[in-house]
A and B are shown apart, each in its own frame.
Chain A
Amino acid sequence: MLLNVGPQHPSTHGVFRLVVKVDGEKITDAIPVIGYLHRGTEKLAENLTYTQIIPYTDRLDYLSSMTNNYALVQAVETLMGIEVPERAEYLRVIVMELNRIASHLVWWGTNLLDLGAISPFLFAFRDREIIVNMLNEISGARLTFNYMRVGGVKWDAPEGWIEKVRKFVPYMREKIKEYHTLVTGNEIFLARVKDIGVYDAETAINYGLSGPVLRGSNVKYDIRKNQPYSVYDRFEFDVPVGEKGDVYDRYMVRMEEMVQSLRIIEQAVEQFPESGEIQGKVPRVLRAPEGEVYTRMESSKGELGVYLVSKGKDKPYRLKLRRPSFVNLQLLPKLLIGRTMADVPAILGAIDIVLGEVDA
């Protein structure tokens, strides 16, 4: 029998459609159908100046817009060889790590909602709200921040903002402990996630997986650590990994990543320069020299890469976005075959996709 999962069911995380072939309860085949959201971001970018493209990146992984902003400006800065002031880099790191926590909170809440638990969803959104409010104060938006600029950031931190961030860290630490008490030891939860959706390190690498879905299979690789960008080389943090690569391992990796993000924020707030520029010297009209770069960064979903080809104009000749959700989703059919329908939300949820990013 053929079953359509999605595209408009909450557990398909937006406009994702999965055609599942079942024999009784067992899944014999699964075909993901994507493209319901395709907005042609790469095509649009060819007709926009570099600054004009930034708001479009907000709409890719709309739960992690700060990191998307950074991915684009990083590529332009690399190609143009632009220096970014230190204060701006610290602000970038703080907002990106806050955004990573916010993104993981949405994953945590909705993933558990898919598995039938409602309270975690409310807890997660309660705490995410605090982050969203802080990001709103600094950028003027709650979701599509459009905060970063080539050579720096758009706004400086308002009065007392850094202090707010500082106070948030211990609060959030306590909350993550509370999450563990609420969910992690729960027997029903463990029965739904242990030994499910297992793949080894070699499969993960062969499928080009990155981020928590790679680290869950015991590959200790984090771009922030192994190929540091911005000022990440100045912070101490660990790269959590799983043991056998099941849904539970990916869950634990993300939970631990939030703790590590808090560590980074704490250090960034400590080291934050008292004063200084937030925008480096850049020409009024940005013209990237002829050439091309592929730059990458660790977004909340994995490796967000930008392949930028410039012909020396103020607009890119070609802008290819390497979206982690798109790549990570490829393994899904392989994980589902042989499992039951009840495992679909657990396995899909553990990949943590955002559809705006799957089909940019």
Chain B
Amino acid sequence: MSEEVKASSPKQPLLDQYVKIIKEQVGEEAIKDAFINEPNDHMPVLVINKDKWYDVAKLLKDHPEMRFDYLMNLAGVDYEKYMEVAYHFYSYSRNEFLGVKVQTERDGGTVPTVMDIWATADWHEREAYDLLGIGFTGRQISRILLPDDWVGHPLRKDYKPFDEEV
């Protein structure tokens, strides 16, 4: 049943096109999964292999059929078994949206930085590191909202406050 619904999504051809371009230019193994997020206005979503993320990111921004020049949001999520970084893109020239997910290990996991592709990723990545402990390779990173000597990363599901009474 879900297959039928998927086929009827108006964004499915677009998603197929993105997948095709990425597989051709970066490699078959770059994409782990691709689906349409229906409640979210049929937003196409790609799950990218983190080893290939930097190359894919460059392609997302520069390829004439994608041109995702605006990184709207970057959010880290703790799924308890693994960590995920969710990116949301918009293309001004094409008026299209795209969601991207990159997964990494829960403890000491890292994701390549994309701050030289989208400058706005800088503080977003620092926030994800600060609150969830997700590392970003290829850049200097420090806490942004919490003091430098803070212990732990509060948005992790297993975070224990230093003093629970406070």
Contact partner of B145 among A38, A203, A307, CB < 8 A? A38
CB distance from A295 to the nearest CB of B (A): 8
Contact assessment for B154 and A40 in the assembled complex, using a CB-CB cutoff below 8 Å: yes
Contact partner of B40 among A35, A292, A303, A359, CB < 8 A? A292
A272: B residues at CB distance < 8 A:
none
Contact assessment for B73 and A34 in the assembled complex, using a CB-CB cutoff below 8 Å: no
B78: A residues at CB distance < 8 A:
318
A224 within 8 A of B: no
A206: B residues at CB distance < 8 A:
69, 118-120
Contact assessment for B70 and A330 in the assembled complex, using a CB-CB cutoff below 8 Å: no
Contact status of A327 and B145, CB under 8 A, knowing A79-B39, A292-B40:
no
Contact assessment for A208 and B70 in the assembled complex, using a CB-CB cutoff below 8 Å: yes
B143: A residues at CB distance < 8 A:
35
Q: Which residue of the partner chain B has the closest CB to A319?
A: B75
B88 within 8 A of A: yes
CB distance from B34 to the nearest CB of A (A): 16
Contact assessment for A327 and B123 in the assembled complex, using a CB-CB cutoff below 8 Å: yes
Interface residues of B toward A: which range?
20 to 34
A326 within 8 A of B: yes
> In the complex, what distance in Å separates the CA atom of A271 from the CA atom of B8?
36
Contact status of A307 and B37, CB under 8 A, knowing A206-B118, A327-B120, A330-B119:
no
B124: A residues at CB distance < 8 A:
327
A349 within 8 A of B: no
Contact assessment for B123 and A326 in the assembled complex, using a CB-CB cutoff below 8 Å: yes
> In the complex, what distance in Å separates the CA atom of A295 from the CA atom of B85?
17
Contact partner of A205 among B39, B70, B154, CB < 8 A? B70
Q: Which residue of the partner chain A has the closest CB to B61?
A: A206
> In the complex, what distance in Å separates the CA atom of A120 from the CA atom of B39?
46
A338 within 8 A of B: no
Contact assessment for B120 and A330 in the assembled complex, using a CB-CB cutoff below 8 Å: yes
Which residues in window 11-62 of B have CB below 8 A to A? Answer: 37, 39-41, 43
Contact partner of A291 among B37, B73, B119, CB < 8 A? B37
Proximity string of chain B (123-147) to chain A, C-beta cutoff 8 Å, 1 when within and 0 when not: 1100100010000000000011111
A78 within 8 A of B: yes
Contact assessment for B71 and A208 in the assembled complex, using a CB-CB cutoff below 8 Å: yes
A219 within 8 A of B: yes
* Interface SS of chain A: mixed
> In the complex, what distance in Å separates the CA atom of A38 from the CA atom of B143?
12
Interface residues of A toward B: which range?
35 or more
> In the complex, what distance in Å separates the CA atom of A282 from the CA atom of B101?
31
B119: A residues at CB distance < 8 A:
203, 206-208, 330
CB distance from A77 to the nearest CB of B (A): 10
Contact assessment for A42 and B39 in the assembled complex, using a CB-CB cutoff below 8 Å: no
Q: Which residue of the partner chain B has the closest CB to A79?
A: B39
CB distance from B77 to the nearest CB of A (A): 5
Contact assessment for B40 and A330 in the assembled complex, using a CB-CB cutoff below 8 Å: no
Most chain B beta carbons < 10 A, residue from A40, A81, A289 = A40
CB distance from B166 to the nearest CB of A (A): 12
Q: List 8 A-B contacts (CB under 8 A).
A: A78-B41, A208-B72, A208-B120, A293-B37, A293-B39, A307-B88, A318-B77, A322-B75
Chain A residues with CB under 8 Å of chain B are 34-35, 38, 40, 42-43, 78-79, 81, 203, 205-209, 219, 221, 226, 289, 291-296, 303, 305, 307, 309, 317-318, 320, 322, 326-327, 329-330, 359
The 6 closest A-B pairs by CB, nearest first: A208-B120, A320-B75, A35-B145, A322-B73, A293-B40, A38-B145
Chain B residues with CB under 8 Å of chain A are 37, 39-41, 43, 69-73, 75-78, 86, 88, 92, 95, 99, 118-120, 122-124, 127, 131, 143-147, 154-155
- Beyond contacts A35-B145, A294-B86: 18 other A-B pairs, Cβ-Cβ < 8 A, are A35-B147, A40-B154, A42-B131, A78-B39, A78-B40, A205-B69, A289-B39, A292-B37, A292-B40, A294-B73, A303-B72, A307-B88, A318-B78, A320-B75, A320-B77, A322-B75, A330-B120, A330-B122
